[in-house]
């Protein structure tokens, strides 16, 4: 975030942006955002960060899950074997062209990160608050 945005980190690695002005309770703000994302059935998009770690972005732009590359590599056997368990009942993933998705490594990482987000959405617990340099 380069110090430009305030955000909280939840127990399972989901980061939730919040505006510094008027937010006196980051926990409550995070709970609302996670509730909204959970009930919106979010689309996901994976970005590789400058440091080689991954960021799982959701269609609601106020949250993302950080997936550290060493965690992904340490769990790759599990991820590769169980990634279909990350789909919800009746869910079909589609690519940017609207075609059924191929389960590439990036898609599997996205599903793994989304699983962490679901855990944070069900039981959001703020473990760290980062304030922007402008607040």
How do the domains of the chain map onto residue ranges? 6-130
Q: pLDDT digit string (tens) for 86-113?
A: 666 655 666 667 676 678 888 889 889 9
Stronger pLDDT, 68 or 39, i.e. the higher one: 68
54-58 and 126-130 strand pairing = unpaired
Residue 82 burial (CB count, 10 A): 14
pLDDT-derived band at 22 (thresholds 50, 70, 90) equals: low
Residue listed under structure tokens 């989304």: 114
For the record, the structure tokens of 30 come out as 């995070």
Q: For residue 120, what pLDDT is reported? A: 93
Rg for the chain, CA atoms, rounded: 15
Q: Report the distance separating Cα 10 and Cα 116, nearest Å.
A: 10
Q: For residue 55, what pLDDT is reported? A: 93
* pTM reported for the whole predicted model: 0.79
């Amino acid at each position: 975030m380069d110090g430009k945005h305030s955000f909280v980190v939840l127990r399972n690695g989901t980061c939730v942006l919040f505006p510094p002005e008027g937010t006196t309770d980051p926990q409550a703000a995070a709970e609302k955002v996670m509730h909204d994302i959970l009930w919106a059935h979010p689309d996901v998009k994976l970005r590789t960060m400058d440091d080689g770690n991954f960021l799982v972005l959701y269609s609601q732009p106020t949250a993302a899950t950080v997936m550290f590359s060493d965690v992904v590599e340490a769990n790759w056997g599990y991820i590769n074997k169980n990634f279909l368990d990350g789909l919800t009942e009746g869910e079909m993933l589609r690519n940017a062209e609207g075609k059924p998705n191929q389960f590439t490594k990036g898609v599997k990482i996205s599903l793994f990160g989304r699983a962490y987000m679901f855990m944070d959405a069900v039981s959001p617990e703020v473990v760290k608050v980062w304030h922007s340099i402008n607040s």
